[in-house]
Structure 1
Amino acid sequence: MCKHILNAQVSIRAPCCKQWYDCSECHAEAQTHALAKTMEMAFMCKKCRKAFRKDMSAYEESDEFCPNCDNHYVIEAKTPQAVLTVEADDFRKDARLVQDERVPLGARNKITDEELAELLED
């Protein structure tokens, strides 16, 4: 099962190491060498579990289906969505999330006359 492409319909045989992978990223994680490129690719349908070859130099729209079971294997890939959550309330109400704790509380939002003069000169 591929963690990069969730709806992979075929496995691809890597021409360099002769092993089956669901995507090139799976190959990169498992092997130390780069994936070799070839014009004749070997696929294994995940529906009927039968292998077949396709010549990529003469690839047509009709080649998007498994020749054994007619499973449409060239589809839009579903990839896992990155989930980013912040476990805090609205920072406008509680600004501790965005405050720099390294600066002492009394020194925040204060500027000296010298610093103001430097800023105005620039």
Structure 2
Amino acid sequence: MCKHILNAQVAVRSPCCKKWFDCADCHAEQETHPLLQRFEMIFACKKCKKCFRKDAQEMEEADEYCPHCDNHYVIPAKTPQAAISVESEDVRVDNRMIRDDRVKPNPEKERRTIFDPDADGDKLG
């Protein structure tokens, strides 16, 4: 799994060291030599696990699909973004994430308002 491109559809075989990588950044992290660039590229589809060759000089719209399973592998890359979020199940099924259990009103205790005449109401400070 590539940590740089989250939706990588193919792995690419590097022509310099003959190893498989999901992206050029993965090659740069694992190897000490620079990536050798060639026009003929060897891909391995992650859906059907079959390999195929493509010439990058003659790429057409029909070449954006795996020749074995028609998986569309030329898609916009999803890169990881820093975000703070709360992951939960569907709130219609489990609403514990949105329910506030901090203060439960006691029905036996009288509810006070700011308009109650009480001795403590004169203490403001």
- Taking structure 2 as the reference length, what is the TM-score of the superposition? 0.65
Larger helix proportion of the pair: 1
Task: Provide the aligned length of Structure 1 versus Structure 2.
Answer: 84
**2-structure distance, mates of 1:60, 1:41:** 14
Partner of 1:87: none
Equivalent residue runs for 1:39-58 within 5 Å: 39-58=39-58
> Based on CA coordinates, which of the two structures has the bigger radius of gyration?
2
Corresponding residue SS for 2:54: strand
**Identity percentage over the alignment?**
67
**2-structure distance, mates of 1:24, 1:39:** 15
Using the TM superposition, give the Cα deviation of residue 52 of structure 1 relative to its aligned residue in structure 2, in angstroms: 0.2
**2-structure distance, mates of 1:15, 1:51:** 15
Using the TM superposition, give the Cα deviation of residue 83 of structure 1 relative to its aligned residue in structure 2, in angstroms: 3.9
Partner of 2:99: none
The answer for unaligned runs of 5 or more in structure 1 is 85-122
The answer for unaligned runs of 5 or more in structure 2 is 85-125
**1-structure distance, mates of 2:57, 2:22:** 21
Using the TM superposition, give the Cα deviation of residue 4 of structure 1 relative to its aligned residue in structure 2, in angstroms: 0.3
Query: In angstroms, what is the RMSD of aligned CA positions?
Result: 1.0
Give structure 1 regions of 4+ aligned residues with deviation exceeding 3 angstroms.
none
